[in-house]
Amino acid sequence: MEGHHTEPSALQKHVMFFDRNNDGVIYPSETFQGFRAIGCGLALSSAAAAFINLGLSRKTRPGKPFSFHFPIEVENIQLGKHGSDSDVYDKEGRFVPSKFEEIFAKHAKTHPQALTSDELKSFLKSNREPKDYAGWLAAFTEWKILYILCKDKNGLLHKDTVRAVYDGSLFERMEKEHASSKKQNKTTCDV
């Protein structure tokens, strides 16, 4: 397939952090390890691994039999896009700058470069597609975890942080910060 020789899409880069052994497949244990690496507690890491892998495994493995190992194929991650999202990733998993800017232009009223908790709720509500309960839940979960992990001391989720989650660089940065804080016997996330 042609995708093997091309630059990974933004969405692929977003999830590649969780492919801990770089084999193109993300198992629940790797999702768990990734969440632990960015400083999340056992409960959140376990729940995230179950929720993410159960939700994406079948979607990213078209034509393949069901697997109780719940693998996610990085190459096909765009097939796991859910409804009621921001459309910052297009159907091919590419980053859409105008959709990203739209989030802040429409919803960042208090601070133009950040979202408050209420602004984030408003943003999520505005993206809801009618009766797309699974999409609502997926969007809420993704953004709520991001907000909990990355809001600043004033409760603001900054634009540069959101941009970094979309290009995949946030997780690498969080892993380095967590490793550094572990050396000082601190944790960044006890959720």
User: Which residue type, as a one-letter code, is found at position 29?
Assistant: S
135's CB contacts (< 8 A; 6+ apart) are 82, 83, 84, 85, 128, 129
Average pLDDT of the segment spanning 2-18:
85
Give CA–CA dist 34/54, Å, rounded.
16
Closest CA to 10 of 164, 157, 188: 164
Model pLDDT for residues 141-155, shown as the tens digit of each residue: 999 999 999 999 999
Cβ atoms of 172 and 24 within 8 Å: the answer is: no
Average pLDDT of the segment spanning 94-103:
97
